[in-house]
Structure 1
Amino acid sequence: MELNEAISKRVSVRYFDERDVPGEAIRSMIEAAVRAPTASGLENWIFVVFTSEDSREKIYRLITRGMEEYYRAVNIPEEKMKKLQERMYKEGMYKAPVYIAVFIDKRVRFLEGSEFDDLEFIWSVESAAMAIQNLMLKAVELGLGTVYIGVTNFRGIEEEVRKLAGLDENYYLVGVIPVGYPRREQKPHGRRRILGEITRFI
Structure 2
Amino acid sequence: MELDDVILKRTSVRYFEERDVSEEDVRALIEAAIRAPTASGLENWKFVVFRSGDAREKLYNLIAEGMIRYYRAVNLAEGKIEKLRKRMYEQGMYRAPIYVAVFIDRRVRFLPGEEFDEPEFIWSVESAAMAIQNLMLKAVELGLGTVYIGVTNFPGIDEEVRELAGLDENHYLVGVIPVGYPKGEVKPRKRRKTLDEVLVFI
Aligned residues: 202
TM-score (norm 2): 0.99
Which residue does the alignment assign to 2:109? 109
Which residue does the alignment assign to 2:63? 63
**How far does residue 55 in structure 1 lie from its aligned partner after superposition?**
0.1
Aligned partner of 2:110: which letter?
F
Residues 1:191 and 2:195 aligned together: no
CA distance in 2, matches of 1:78, 1:163: 30
CA distance in 1, matches of 2:53, 2:85: 21
Secondary structure at 2:183's aligned position in 1?
coil
Residues 1:98 and 2:95 aligned together: no
CA distance in 2, matches of 1:160, 1:184: 32
Query: Where does 1:27-106 land on structure 2 (aligned, <5 Å)?
Result: 27-106=27-106
After superposing on structure 2, the runs of 4+ consecutive aligned residues of structure 1 that deviate more than 4 Å are none
Secondary structure at 2:82's aligned position in 1?
helix
CA distance in 2, matches of 1:193, 1:179: 27
**How far does residue 6 in structure 1 lie from its aligned partner after superposition?**
0.4
CA distance in 1, matches of 2:45, 2:157: 20
Flag structure 1 segments of 5+ consecutive residues without an equivalent. Answer: none
**How far does residue 83 in structure 1 lie from its aligned partner after superposition?**
1.1
Which residue does the alignment assign to 1:201? 201
RMSD after superposition: 0.5
**How far does residue 82 in structure 1 lie from its aligned partner after superposition?**
1.3
Over the matched positions of the two proteins, sequence identity in percent amounts to 73
**How far does residue 78 in structure 1 lie from its aligned partner after superposition?**
1.4
Which residue does the alignment assign to 2:11? 11
Aligned partner of 1:158: which letter?
D
TM-score (norm 1): 0.99
CA distance in 1, matches of 2:194, 2:77: 31
Which residue does the alignment assign to 1:152? 152
